Each structure stands twice: as C-alpha cells, then as structure tokens.
Amino acid sequence: MSDCYLPRLGGIEVQVADLVRMQREAGHEVQVATATRGEPMDGVRRMVARMPFDLPVHPFGVGHITRALTSYRPDVVHVHTGAVSPFAWMGVRAAVRCGLPTVVTVHSMWDPVTRGVYRSLRLAFEWQRWGLVATTVSHAATGPIKAVAGRGVPVHVVSNGLDLSGWRPAGPYVPRGDSEVHVVAVGRLAPRKQPVRLLRLLDEVRARVPASVGLRATVIGDGPARGQMERYLARHGMTSWVSLPGRYSREEIAKVLDSADIFVAPAPRESFGIAALEARAAGLPVVARAQSGVADFVTPGEEGLLGRSFADLVTAVARLAADTSLRERIAAHNHLTEPAAGSWPVVLDGFDRAYEQAMNLR
C-alpha cells in the first residue's frame, strides 16, 4: 500500500514499483493498493476519490481498504509511507482491524514537527500496541522512529534496492590528468533539498580553491526552486562555471557522472540518498552530511568525505578539489569496489525477515 504509485514519478513511487517487480520475480504474489490515479495495471487497485489537485487522499479509505483486505486476505500487508501519508496510514488501520500482519516502511527522515505529530497520534490511538513491524531505509532514519515508538514497535534497516550494474565504470580508474575539477549534484530542486545553499557552497569553495585549479559545476534536476537558483547565479557572477541543465534521463546522468570528479549531496535530511549511491557506484568521491542516510555507504576517507555542518561540506569539497592525490585515491577505490548497499537480494531477504516477524506477532 502506498499513497503514490506509478504513473507518478518520485523516489517512493519508483522504489515501490521496483520492489513489486523484484518480489514477483522472486515468486511472491503481490497486489498494490494506491490512491494515485492512472491507467489500469496488473495487480494494482486504485482507490481514488475526486480530490482537489489529485491529492492522494481518500475520505473513506479505511472502509474501502478493509473490504479489499477482507476479500483478498493477504498473508501480510506492506505499507509504504513518507513524512505524511494519509492513505497509507488508513491502510495500516484497516490491516490492524482485519488482524493481518503489517509491515510499515518509512521512506523519509522524521523531522521534529513530524515526530511531534506521530507522538500525538500515538497518544490518541496507541498505535505502538498494534503489533506493527517497521523498517527504514537507513540507520539515520531509524533513530527518530525508535524515539517515538519506544519498545512497542521493532524497527529494522532495509535499504532501498537498486540495480547498480548500469552505473559501474566500464574499466579501471584512469586519472584525468587535467587541471579542471567537475563537481556534480543531482536531485529535485525543491526547498527541502536546499539547492540555493548548494550554490552558496559552490561559491565558497571557489573562493577557497587556488585560482590555478579550474572549477565547474553541474546541478541536474528541476523543481520550484529553479528560478531562485538562476537569479542567485546571475547575482553572484557564477553563470560561467555553474550550469542548471534541468532534468536528465538515467543515461544522460550517467554520461555526466563519467566526466565528473566530485559528487555533492548536501541535504541534511536525506533519508537514503539514491543519487549519491549511484554516483558512488559510478566511482565518484561523495561529499554528504554525516547525519544523513548517505553515511550508510560512505566511510570518510574511503568512499568520500562527510560533514555535520554546511561549513564542513564547504571544507570537504574544497579539500577534494585542491588535493588531487586524495581525490584520485578515493576515486580509484570506488572504481575497484562495488557498494554493499542497494543489493536486491539483500533487500528482499530483509523484507522477508520483517514479514516473518510480523506474522509471528499475530
């Protein structure tokens, strides 16, 4: 169950669709319930109400889902939620009402406001007594959920699943041998991703790195902050070396990564970091927040550099840009070794274990 599903495109939508595909290939029978509109798809039940702006909300969702579960009677219900997922939580209530084993995967990082909301809901509904099993996509995302649920809900880390074979370098690492350093970032240009602060970071890096080192940056993606970013670049005289090419396909992103030297994932509340893992798989040193999910697959000094603050990130990018030997050593390591995170066999096994635990709680 998920509020959002294909044909909508986003992190949760694509990840859930990929999980459905991989579980079916592994022999599971999988049905999907969603509030997202779209064309009929095999095994997808669209419980859609006429809501403004196509919001994924159904005013009578609990009743609809309860009837569907009573009819279908699955072995386990797997619910996927973001920070706010009303349809998904209706699915949780319906599954509990039907007495079905329930696993809840939280794809987001709960901020203080979200934690406050779920504490209030815990007091109102005592959901920590519902016999749920929870999973999160990283260790960083686990802490806030454990803090709210206490001992009432077991919480496990099961990372996002990715096929990284298409991102792996075709051959061994070859030092570029040029004086220009190419910095890349990929993501939706939305305020929560702090894309304008990324431009400020790049500006400060340029001021720290010796003028003899050429520097250019590419920020791939689109979103509501694009206009603000364009104005920032013009105001600070950065348009000659920072480009905003818009949204790229997977193949286009892979081509840009092949020409890059450093990948930056600056968002502090990145629950996993799919783009960062793809860049790591492509062989790039990754700079990210130590308190984000990226820390699950980036060890400082080995796969990249981590920082706890904006200033730390500036220092890390400037260090990699100026220190050719460090940058090349990390790139060589990343070219040689595959990331441990994202392996589909490991992900499927993690969810199977969560399903088994949920069934044992009933």
- Do residue 331 and residue 347 come from a single domain? no
For residue range 168-210, list pLDDT tens digits in order: 998 888 888 777 999 999 998 988 888 999 999 999 999 999 9
- Do residue 178 and residue 327 come from a single domain? yes
Give the domain CATH number at 147.
Answer: 3.40.50.2000
Residue 195 resides in a domain:
yes
Paired tokens of 362: 């009933």
Residue 4 resides in a domain:
no
Q: What is the pLDDT of residue 57?
A: 61
Return d(Cα 47, Cα 37) in angstroms, integer. Answer: 8
- Do residue 178 and residue 279 come from a single domain? yes
- Do residue 352 and residue 308 come from a single domain? no
- Do residue 187 and residue 319 come from a single domain? yes
- Do residue 309 and residue 349 come from a single domain? no
Residue 42 resides in a domain:
yes
- Do residue 172 and residue 321 come from a single domain? yes
- Do residue 147 and residue 172 come from a single domain? no
Closest CA relative to residue 202, chosen from 184, 186, 180, 189: 184
| Spans of the chain, pLDDT less than 50 | none
Residue 290 resides in a domain:
yes
**159 burial via Cβ count (<10 Å: 0-12, 13-18, 19+):** buried
Indicate the pTM of the whole model. 0.88
Q: What is the pLDDT of residue 138?
A: 96
Say if residues 321 and 181 touch (Cβ distance below 8 Å).
yes
Q: What is the pLDDT of residue 218?
A: 98
Q: What is the pLDDT of residue 48?
A: 66
Q: What is the pLDDT of residue 170?
A: 84
Q: Which pairs from 89-92 meet CB under 8 Å and 24+ separation?
A: 90/58, 90/61, 90/62, 90/65, 91/1, 91/33, 91/61, 91/65, 92/127, 92/130, 92/132
- Do residue 352 and residue 289 come from a single domain? no
Range of the domain at 66: 11-161+343-360
Q: How many domains does the chain have?
A: 2
Helix axes 310-322, 324-336, angle to 10 degrees: 90
Residue 1 resides in a domain:
no
- Do residue 324 and residue 244 come from a single domain? yes
